[in-house]
A and B are shown apart, each in its own frame.
Chain A
Amino acid sequence: MRSRTIPMREVHVWELPVRLYHWINALCVTVLCITGFIIGRPIAISSGTEAYFQYWFGTVRFIHFVSAFLFFFNFVFRTYWGFAGNEFSRWYNFIPLKKCQWKEIMDVIKVDILQVKHKQIDSIGHNSLASFIYFITFVIFLLQCLTGFGMYSAMSSSFLPKMFAWIVPFLGGDMSVRQLHHILMWGFILFAIVHVYLVFYHDYIERRGITSSMIGGWKFIEEDVVERHNNETEDCPKTTK
C-alpha cells in the first residue's frame, strides 16, 4: 500500500450558499446551452403532420426561458454573496487590484499551465488566475442576461424583461443581439470544458480535495499554508483589511 503522512488541516472554504449557487448555475448553463443550441439549429424531428398535434419547439423555448430566469436570479444572488459571504467568496478575490494577485497569476501560469516552474501555490480559496477567469465569466453571464432578456423583451410585457429592452437599439437591432447571444454560448461551452478539466487537474496534482470541496465545502490544506494564511504571511493575502 502506498501512503503519505503529511500535516493537513481541513478548512471550510465554500459555504452552503456558494455551493448551491454553483450547482444551480452549472445545471442552468447546461440546460441553457442545450436548449439554446436547439433554438438556433432546430432538428428536423417530425414532418408530414399538422401544427396542432405538437408543441415541441415551444416547449424547448419554454425550458430555455425558465432556466434563464433561474440562472439570472442565481447570478444576482451570487453577486450579493460577493459582499456578504466569507473571505473566499468575497468580490476582492475576483478582481486583481493588488500587485501580488498579478504575481500569483503569473506563478499559476508558470506552474500549472506551462509547467516550467515547481512551486506550491498558497491559495486556499480560488487561486488568482482562476478567480480572474471567473470574473470574466461573470461578465459573460451579465452579457448573456442582457442580450437574452433584450430579445425576450419583444415577447413579454412584464417588468423585468422590459428593463433590458434598451439593449436592442443599443446593439443596432435584434439580429446583432441574437448573434452576440449565440456567440457567447460558445464562451460558456469552452469555459465549462476547460473549467472541469482544470478542477480535475488540480485534484490530481495537489490532492487538496478540490472537486469534492464544491460538494461538501471542505478542502484539505497543508498545515504551513494555513499557518501563513492565519498570520497573513502568505504570498498573497487577498483580504482588503
Chain B
Amino acid sequence: MENKQPSFYEEAKSDGISRKDFLKFCASMAVLLGIENSGVGQIVKALETKPRLPVIWFHFQECTCCSESFIRASHPIVANIVLDKISLDYQETLMAASGAAAEDAYKAVMAKYPGEYIVMVEGSIPTENEAYCCIGGRSAKQILEEAAKNAKAVVAWGNCASAGCVQAASPNPTGAQPVHKVISGKPIINVQGCPPIADVMAGIVVHLLTFDRIPQLDALNRPKAFYSRRVHDTCYRRANFDAGLFVESFDDEGAKRGYCLYKMGCKGPVTYNSCGIIKWNDGISYPIQSGHPCIGCSEAGFWDNGPFYQHLPGIEGFGIETTADKIGLGLGVATAAGIAAHAIVTNVRKHKEITNAPETATTIDNSKES
C-alpha cells in the first residue's frame, strides 16, 4: 500500500526529540513489555520505519481519565504518540475537527484501512436504552458495532470499556456494558485500571505497532505482561503483611511506620495490576506508597465490592457495612438457641426413650428396671 505517512521516529525527530531519548524510550518499552534484548532492535526498527497506526478512538460513557492518564505519561514520546499520531484520525477529546468533519475523519479511516485500523474505546456502552449515549445522532452501540466490523482489533481502555466501571455499578441505570459484551468475533484487549497506567497504555500501542499482532492475553483478555501479578505480589509493604504488622487506623503508629494496609481494606491481594512495579507519575509513587490502601480499580465490579476501607464487601440486602462474619455470627447464635430449645424439648417428649427402652421396640423388648 502506498503511504507517505511519516514514521513515529521521523515525527519525534521533527519535534526535537534526540536519538538518545528515542532509544531510551524504545528500551524502556521493551522492558515494560517483558521482551528480550533483541526485541529492542525490533521496536527501534518498527518505530523508525513503520507508518503510523490507523486508530479510531471513541469516547462513550466515561470520564476521560484514560486519555488524561495517557497524555500525562512521563515520556515526551508517549504524548507524541497520542497527540500527533493516534488522535490524528479521530479522538473526540483531542482532535481539532468537530461536527461533520470529525465524523468524516473516522469514516475515512474505516474506508481506507479496512482490516488494519485499530478501534480504541474509552467508556462503556449503554444497552438499557441506547439513547443514553449518542454521538452525531447515532448510539454508542451502533457506532461501535459499525467501526469494529472491519477493525483489526479493539482496545478497551480502562475499567469502563473492560468491565463497566462506575456506570455499571449496581443498580446500573443505563445498562452499561463493557466492549466485550457488545462486540464479538474480534480480538479485544482489556487494558484494565481506572485509569490504566500511562506507560501500560503506551506499551500496548508500541506492541501493536512493532509486532503487528495483539500481545499475549490472560483469561480476561488482559495483556499478561502487565496484569499477571497482583498488586500484593509486588508490594514493598509485603514483608509487613507476612510479619502480621498491620495499620489499624490511618493515624496510628503502624501507619507512620509503613505497615501493611490489609486491615484498612487493601484490595492488593485481589487486584491484578502493575502499580507496585511501574508506579504512577514517572514512577514517583503509587497509592499504597502514599499510605492509601489499593481500592482494586483494575478489577471488575470494584465499586460494588465496597466499602473501600473494609476487608470484605458488604452483603447486598443486609446493608453495606454488614459482612459475612456478622451474618454468620447471627446464624451461629440462632443455631445455638435452636439447639438449646431442641435439647429441652427432647428431654420432655422423648422422656420414655431416655429413661427406658425405645417404645417402638417393645415387640422384642425385655426391658426391666431394677
A contact residues vs B (CB 8 Å cutoff): 1-7, 40-42, 44-49, 51-58, 60, 113, 115, 118-120, 154-155, 165-166, 168-169, 172-179, 182-183, 185-186, 189-190, 193-194, 197, 201, 204-206, 222-224
Selecting from B40-48, B65-73, B100-108, B344-352, the interface stretch reads: B344-352
Contact A183 B366 (CB under 8 A): no
Instruction: Name B344-370 residues within 8 Å CB distance of A.
Output: 345-346, 349-350, 353-354, 356-361, 363-370
Selecting from B21-29, B144-152, B331-339, the interface stretch reads: B331-339
From B244, B328, B356, B360, A54 is in contact (CB under 8 Å) with B244
Contact B346 A115 (CB under 8 A): yes
Q: Complex formed: what's the CA distance from A224 to B357 in Å?
A: 14
Residue on A nearest B269 in the bound complex, by CB: A174
From B254, B343, B350, B365, A47 is in contact (CB under 8 Å) with B254
Q: Complex formed: what's the CA distance from A177 to B233 in Å?
A: 18
Residue on A nearest B242 in the bound complex, by CB: A58
Residue on A nearest B313 in the bound complex, by CB: A179
A-chain residues with CB within 8 Å of residue B286 when the two chains form the complex: none
- Among B233, B313, B331, B361, max chain A CB count under 10 A is at B361
- Among B242, B262, B354, max chain A CB count under 10 A is at B242
Contact B311 A40 (CB under 8 A): yes
B contact residues vs A (CB 8 Å cutoff): 219-220, 230, 233, 239-246, 248, 253-254, 257, 259, 262-263, 267, 269-272, 296, 299-302, 305, 311-313, 324-325, 327-328, 331-332, 335-336, 339, 342-343, 345-346, 349-350, 353-354, 356-361, 363-370
Q: Contacts A174-B230, A176-B301, A178-B270 known; list 7 others, CB within 8 Å.
A: A6-B357, A57-B244, A115-B350, A174-B270, A186-B331, A205-B346, A224-B363
6 inter-chain pairs at a CB distance below 8 angstroms, sorted by A residue, are: A42-B263, A55-B243, A115-B350, A174-B269, A183-B324, A186-B324
A-chain residues with CB within 8 Å of residue B366 when the two chains form the complex: 5-7
Contact B360 A118 (CB under 8 A): yes
Known: A51-B243, A55-B242, A154-B230. A224 touches B364 (CB 8 A): yes
Chain B nearest CB from A37 CB (Å) reads 8
B-chain residues with CB within 8 Å of residue A168 when the two chains form the complex: 219
Residue on A nearest B230 in the bound complex, by CB: A154
Residue on A nearest B353 in the bound complex, by CB: A205
Q: Complex formed: what's the CA distance from A154 to B331 in Å?
A: 32
Contact A49 B245 (CB under 8 A): yes
Contact B220 A40 (CB under 8 A): no
Chain B nearest CB from A24 CB (Å) reads 25
- Among A113, A204, A224, max chain B CB count under 10 A is at A204
Chain A nearest CB from B211 CB (Å) reads 25
Contact A186 B243 (CB under 8 A): no
Contact A193 B246 (CB under 8 A): no
Contact A40 B325 (CB under 8 A): yes
Contact A222 B242 (CB under 8 A): no
Contact A155 B233 (CB under 8 A): yes
Contact B301 A51 (CB under 8 A): no
- Tally inter-chain residue pairs, CB-CB below 8 A: 162
Q: Complex formed: what's the CA distance from A20 to B332 in Å?
A: 28
Contact A57 B242 (CB under 8 A): yes
A-chain residues with CB within 8 Å of residue B339 when the two chains form the complex: 193-194, 197
From A56, A165, A194, B244 is in contact (CB under 8 Å) with A56
Q: Complex formed: what's the CA distance from A161 to B68 in Å?
A: 39
Contact B370 A56 (CB under 8 A): no
Chain B nearest CB from A72 CB (Å) reads 21
Q: Complex formed: what's the CA distance from A54 to B241 in Å?
A: 10
Contact A6 B324 (CB under 8 A): no
Chain A nearest CB from B301 CB (Å) reads 6
Residue on A nearest B238 in the bound complex, by CB: A51
Contact A193 B336 (CB under 8 A): yes
Q: Complex formed: what's the CA distance from A194 to B220 in Å?
A: 41
A-chain residues with CB within 8 Å of residue B342 when the two chains form the complex: 113, 197, 201
Known: A40-B312, A179-B312, A194-B335. A119 touches B360 (CB 8 A): yes
From A1, A119, A182, A190, B370 is in contact (CB under 8 Å) with A1
Contact A206 B301 (CB under 8 A): no
Chain B nearest CB from A215 CB (Å) reads 23
Q: Complex formed: what's the CA distance from A165 to B365 in Å?
A: 59
Contact B360 A173 (CB under 8 A): no
- Among A155, A174, A175, A194, max chain B CB count under 10 A is at A175
Chain A nearest CB from B315 CB (Å) reads 8
B-chain residues with CB within 8 Å of residue A165 when the two chains form the complex: 219
Residue on A nearest B347 in the bound complex, by CB: A204
A-chain residues with CB within 8 Å of residue B353 when the two chains form the complex: 205-206
Q: Complex formed: what's the CA distance from A185 to B367 in Å?
A: 45
Contact A54 B243 (CB under 8 A): yes
Residue on A nearest B338 in the bound complex, by CB: A194
Q: Complex formed: what's the CA distance from A239 to B336 in Å?
A: 36
Chain A nearest CB from B103 CB (Å) reads 36
**5 closest A-B pairs by CB:** A57-B244, A186-B328, A174-B270, A58-B242, A51-B239
From B220, B299, B325, B335, A175 is in contact (CB under 8 Å) with B299
Known: A4-B356, A40-B312. A222 touches B364 (CB 8 A): yes
Chain B nearest CB from A27 CB (Å) reads 21
A-chain residues with CB within 8 Å of residue B243 when the two chains form the complex: 51-58
Q: Complex formed: what's the CA distance from A60 to B369 in Å?
A: 55
Contact B246 A115 (CB under 8 A): no
